[in-house]
Every structure is written in structure tokens, then in C-alpha cells.
Amino acid sequence: MLQISYIRLHADTVKERLAVKNFKDISLVDELLQLDENLRQQKTATETLQASINAASKEIGMLMGKGDKDTAEQKKQEVASLKNELSEKNAALVALEENFNNKILLLPNLPHTSVPLGKTPEDNEVVREGGAKPNLPANAQPHWELIKKYDLIDFETGARLTGSGFPLYKGKGAKLQRALIQYFLDYNTQAGYTEYLPPLMVNEATAYGTGQLPDKEGQMYHITADGFYMIPTAEVPVTNVYSNEIVKETSLPIKMTAYTPCFRREAGSFGADVRGLNRVHQFDKVEIIQLVHPAKSYDVLEEMVQHVEKLLQLLELPYRILRLCGGDMSFASALTYDFEVFSAAQQKWLEVSSVSNFETFQTNRMKVRYKDESGKTQLVHSLNGSSLALPRIVAALLENNQTEDGIHLPKVLHNYFGATGIEGII
RNA sequence: GGAGACGUGUCCGAGUGGUUGAAGGAGCACGCCUGGAAAGUGUGUAUACGGGAAACUGUAUCAAGGGUUCGAAUCCCUUCGUCUCCGCCA
């Protein structure tokens, strides 16, 4: 959530930046400023009245102490009429506040100045590519065929148990998931991230904290009986670990990593995009999250990009890094790099990670702060990235490494998987 | 799921209607003391928002939300959470 104090001082910048994000309702900024003005006026009026009531009440207390009941009674009468006035003013204030709070949540984060202009994924900027695309034979198979051939995932039974998009991993398919999760977590903890295993459902306040609500209500599974949401990413519970806390400046940066299954409703997709593992409702992901000093967040963003890039290199996958354009960025992000791997049989780039700096957008909602040298309370910056989302990594590993006699796996996975590759059926 | 107890500041802990944002202690910060440290000693030590150039000041906050009252940490209701006992259970 943007800070109104910032909007007050930089309204024009805010509008200009929102335009870069293709935010339609720019007039909301002026509306908010007007609301803010009214709100503050109303607040001053209400509090002044409250102050006089408080003073009178204290006086009554003292009069009672002295035993001067008559004067006290008289005071009570006075206060009673003031209270009527107060309740009117209060009602107006509450209405204004509610309106203001609802509206300011609708403003997305401001994009960083380096964000490219654009509306669609085509406008994203390719920062760099790495790894070599394999030369596959003409009869190379897409991963969903390979999955069948080696009996790694049973999509049909998953669909019967739950619904489409809920894969049932099996045999070496299940073991490969476990190996990847373990490897990714080890890779992250070696880089200084603390491992967490969070709840997979969160309450409403937590979902607001990272910006999933109210923006993405429809994308999360909602357990209505208890008011919980299935997490769409570990980012949601883990970033909130420090919500409503004032952390020591010396404890920054806080580096956290977590493996969780992720649940996404993802309505509205169809066709080849959702074939096999390309898009599913439940998938595994290892996430990295940092809470950092504001002055360092863009350095940390680069560091996290390099961290994920190295991981893709170790997995020996061809990848590219995109800087997302204003129109393709998420609501809460100030700058986002997407990572895509090339899945050679499909001849498709698949997104496997998204690394973002949210600056104070999330921490303002969650109230994660520190005290600076002068003792002032400041919001920290939050960042996160996937390292990595598993299904599309699996798709690319299968497709790119397929041979006549099986799937070869990159060296780093051999120990975790307990074999150098997947050969034959089971 | 049933019965009971409880939820106060960074922590411990007092406080059952009236200058209580909250005693006392610990911790922490700064100063004094010391050759240096410890001990001792003095001062300070929440957050948010509003007003103000600032000093400062107003309001709110004793789990959360509502209510009673001129006045609530203190009384009432609801919710959430913790603990104990019982039940159930991986």
C-alpha cells in the first residue's frame, strides 16, 4: 500500500508512475487527496471535542474526590450534550476512514524508474540469456509424453481424486520432486537463508499483508467455513512472519526460504498452455524472501537475481531473464525480473521464477519497521523470488535431457535423486 | 468436542471504576563513579495518527471488536489466542 504522506508530497510523480503501470483509474489519486484532506479536518474536530470531554471527566473525578457532588452533577449534564455532538462527528469520521482505507488499497505499487514501458508480455525486456539450447532429434517428445513413458505423474487419477490440474506424482516422478525440493532448500540455506515450513492456509489479514487481497481474491482457494485461504505461494505466510514488528536495524537483512505446495485457481486458461505441467492448480515451489534496509534493496534484488540465475546454471538449463514492463508487473511490485527456461520439445519459454522488489508496499500493510540512527521508525523493504517453481523445471529437465535410453539429470541432482537419470519404466 | 484458568509495555510483574501511558523489577541507552571493568548511582527508555518550522501538543492503544458509565486495564457481551484437566486422534 502506498503511503499517503508520500502521495501528498508527490502527487504528480505518483500519477506519472501509475501511468507506467497502465493503471486506469488515475483520478483515484486526486480523490484520495481530497478524502485525506476531509479526513484530517474531521479528525481534528473530533479529537478536539474528545479532549474537552476528557478534561471535563477528569474534573468530575476531582470534584467527586472533594465531595462537591452538586458541581459534579452539573458537569455531567454538560458532558452529556457534548457526547451527542461527538457521536455524530465520530460516525462521520469512521465513514470517511473506511472509505479512505478501502480506496488506498486499490492503488498498485509504483514501478521503479528502470521499468520498461509496455502493456503486454511482448514488451518485457530481455536482460540476458544463458545456457545452451539442446539439439533434439525430430522425434523428441514433449514432457507430458515422457511423463507417461516413464510413469512419473498420473494426471488422470489426480483429476479423479480432486480435479484437473492436481497432479499425482508417482515413483521416480515423486522422488524427483523430493530431490529438487531438497536441493533447492540446501542451495538457499547455504547462501544464508533460514529455512521455514509455514502453514499452508492463512487468514485474511495475512493475505492482505502481502497484497493478495483485495487484488487477487479470485485466484486463491477460499476455505469459507473458517475464513482461511490456501496459500498461492510461500511468500504470503513467510513475509508475514515479521508483521507488526519493529526489528533491530542490525538484524537486517532477514533472509528466509521455504518450500511449500502452492495453490492457484488460475481461471480462464486453456489449450496448449495448460498441457502437462505447464499450468496446474497445485504445485511445489521453494521461495526466497528478504526483509532489508531500504537503501540496499536494489542491490539485494540483483543479488537474488544472481542467486536464482546460478541455480539455473547448475541445473544446466537454457534460460533468459526478463525485466517486466509496467503492464505485465504484479500489483505489489516495484521491479520484477522473470526467469524463463526453454523447454526444448515444446519450443517454449516457461516462467520458473519471478524475483521482485516490493519496496515498502507490503511492509506498509504488514507494519514491518526498524528504527534508524536518529530513532525514527522506518518501513523495511521486502523482496522475494522463486528458487524455484518445480513443475516447469521438471518439464524442461525432461524435455531437454531426453535420450534414447532415458532422461539424464544434471550432476547436482545425482546425489539427491540417487541416480544419474531416469531410465525405463519404474 | 467438554470443563476451568488466563491474555497488561522489550521481558517479568502490580494494578477490580477517577489526574494510570499505566507502580515495581529486569533489560537496554546515555551520564557519573573507576586506571579499566564489575558493582553502585542518576537520567531516559512504546506505537500510530492529527496539529506545529520546532519545542511541544491532542487523540487512540493494557489480545481484538462491541457495550455500560461523566469517566474503564478495571464491569458486561462477542471473537481470537494460551495454559490445565477430560474426551478424541496422526
Please state, for a pLDDT cut of 90, what percent of chain A lies above it.
Answer: 68
What pLDDT, on the 0 to 100 scale, is given for residue A25?
93
What pLDDT, on the 0 to 100 scale, is given for residue A19?
95
CB-strand contact A4/B, under 7 Å: yes
Please check the confidence at residue A26 and state whether its pLDDT lies above 50: yes
In window 246-265 of A, residues with CB < 7 A from nucleic chain B are 246
Q: How far is the CA of A205 from the C1' of B6 (A)?
A: 25
Low-confidence winner among A149-163, A203-217, A246-260, A315-329 (lowest mean pLDDT):
A203-217
Structure ipTM: 0.84
Which tens digit of pLDDT belongs to each residue from A234-280? 999 999 998 888 888 888 899 999 999 999 997 656 666 668 898 89
Whole-number Cα distances in Å, A292 to A186, A187, A252: 22, 20, 5
Specify the nucleotide whose C1' lies closest to residue A4 (CA). B49
Q: Which residues contact A180 (CB under 8 A, 6 or more apart)?
A: A284, A390, A393, A394, A413, A416
Please check the confidence at residue A425 and state whether its pLDDT lies above 60: no
pLDDT-derived band at A204, boundaries 50, 70, 90: confident
Burial annotation A286-318 (CB, 10 A radius, 16+ → b, else e): bbbbbbbbbeebbebbebbbebbbebbeebbbb
CB-strand contact A67/B, under 7 Å: no
What is the C-alpha to C-alpha distance for residues A338 and A333, in angstroms, rounded to an integer? 12
Q: How far is the CA of A54 from the C1' of B15 (A)?
A: 22
CB A127 within 8 A of CB A321: yes
Mean pLDDT of A343-369: 94
pLDDT-derived band at A134, boundaries 50, 70, 90: very high
Q: Identify whether A214 is preceded by a cis peptide bond (ω within 30 of 0).
A: yes
Average pLDDT, chain A: 91
What is the C-alpha to C-alpha distance for residues A399 and A346, in angstroms, rounded to an integer? 8
Q: How far is the CA of A194 from the C1' of B86 (A)?
A: 39
Q: In what order do the strands lie in the sheet with A125-130?
A: A125-130, A319-323, A335-343, A348-357, A381-389, A282-292, A254-263, A194-196
Choose among A202, A393, A212: nearest CA to A311: A393
Question: How, if at all, do strands A228-230 and A402-403 pair?
Answer: unpaired
Give strand pairing partners of A323. Answer: A125, A337
* Nucleotides on chain B within 7 angstroms of protein Cβ: 18-19, 47-51, 58-60, 70-71
Residues in chain A: 426
Q: How far is the CA of A163 from the C1' of B90 (A)?
A: 26
* Phi, psi angle pair for A424, to nearest 5°: 70, 180
What pLDDT, on the 0 to 100 scale, is given for residue A291?
94
Which tens digit of pLDDT belongs to each residue from A297-308? 999 999 999 999
Q: Is A83 helix (H, G, I), strand (E, B) or coil?
A: helix
pLDDT-derived band at A426, boundaries 50, 70, 90: very low
Which tens digit of pLDDT belongs to each residue from A381-403? 999 999 999 999 999 999 999 99
Query: Residue A278, Cα to own-chain centre: how many angstroms?
Result: 21
What is the C-alpha to C-alpha distance for residues A239 and A223, in angstroms, rounded to an integer? 21
Low-confidence winner among A104-113, A160-169, A209-218 (lowest mean pLDDT):
A209-218
Going from the N-terminus, what domains does chain A have, and what CATH number goes with each?
A: 4-104 (1.10.287.40), 121-422 (3.30.930.10)
Specify the nucleotide whose C1' lies closest to residue A52 (CA). B58
What pLDDT, on the 0 to 100 scale, is given for residue A272?
62
* Phi, psi angle pair for A112, to nearest 5°: -60, 160
Please check the confidence at residue A55 and state whether its pLDDT lies above 60: yes
In window 366-395 of A, residues with CB < 7 A from nucleic chain B are 369, 371, 377
What is the C-alpha to C-alpha distance for residues A2 and A7, in angstroms, rounded to an integer? 8
More confident: A167 or A248? A167
Cell output for A30: 486526486
What is the C-alpha to C-alpha distance for residues A222 and A227, in angstroms, rounded to an integer? 7
**What is the DSSP track for A129-158?**
EES------TT---HHHHHHHTT-EEHHHH
More confident: A227 or A322? A322
Q: How far is the CA of A43 from the C1' of B90 (A)?
A: 54
Q: How far is the CA of A38 from the C1' of B56 (A)?
A: 25
Q: Identify whether A253 is preceded by a cis peptide bond (ω within 30 of 0).
A: yes
Which tens digit of pLDDT belongs to each residue from A108-129? 999 999 999 999 999 999 999 9
pLDDT-derived band at A371, boundaries 50, 70, 90: confident
A342: left (phi over 0), alpha (psi -120 to 50) or beta: beta
